[in-house]
Amino acid sequence: RESNCSSPTMSLSECYIAVKLADQPLAPKSILRLPESELGECPLGGCSISYLKQLITGKLQESIPDPEFIDLIYCGRKLRDEQTLEFYGIQSGSTIHVLRKSWPEPEQKPEPVDKMAAVREFRVLHTALHSSPVFRDSVFKMLGNKESLDQIIVATPGLSSDPIALGES
């Protein structure tokens, strides 16, 4: 466990911080009472911002599951993890605003392609384009229509991010 102390300036018997979730402006403030047992050997002012984040996420787990995904704001200033509450002048009774960072997007793995099935499909398409002028004309007409292309791009996962398929390379 990291050191959370720097100097004794506040009375432990009255330590509390009001926490306001910035993305819920109409919700009431959460009052975090910080008992001596949670602060360890240091007073509130000596606690590091990173330790305060841990306390906040521990008390508000439903709203904030991980201290890595929040920033704390006090008097318009973003609080740096390595600093202490005393450094920013935060005292018992102060209000700290919590900003949620954007959650990381889960990596999307492309579906595996059955190469043999793809080869069969392309052979069928190739044969149809070369053997039927009516089919070929309707395909070229559809590919020449911007609305049709937009619908194809929306309906095909991953196509919008493929510069080769979109003719951008």
Residues 26/60, Cβ–Cβ less than 8 Å: no
When pLDDT is averaged across residues 35-40 and rounded to a whole number, the result is 54
- Is the model more confident about 32 or about 89? 89
- Residue 30 sits in a domain whose CATH number is 3.10.20.90
Residues 159/153, Cβ–Cβ less than 8 Å: yes
Residues 134/68, Cβ–Cβ less than 8 Å: no
Within a domain: residue 45?
yes
> Using H for helix, E for strand and C for coil, what is the string for 40-108?
CCCCHHHCEHHHHHHHHHHHCCCCCCCHHHEEEEECCEECCCCCEHHHHCCCCCCEEEEEECCCCCCCC
> Could you give the count of Cα atoms lying within 13 Å of 13 in the half-sphere of its Cβ?
0
Residues 128, 89: one domain? no
Q: How many domains does the chain have?
A: 2
Say yes or no to pLDDT of 105 above 50: yes
When pLDDT is averaged across residues 151-164 and rounded to a whole number, the result is 82
User: Which pLDDT score, from 0 to 100, does residue 14 have?
Assistant: 52
- pTM of the predicted protein model: 0.50
Backbone phi and psi for residue 33, each to the nearest 5 degrees, phi listed first: -85, 130
Residues 22, 94: one domain? yes
72, 100, 128: which is the final residue of a domain? 100
75, 100, 125: which is the final residue of a domain? 100
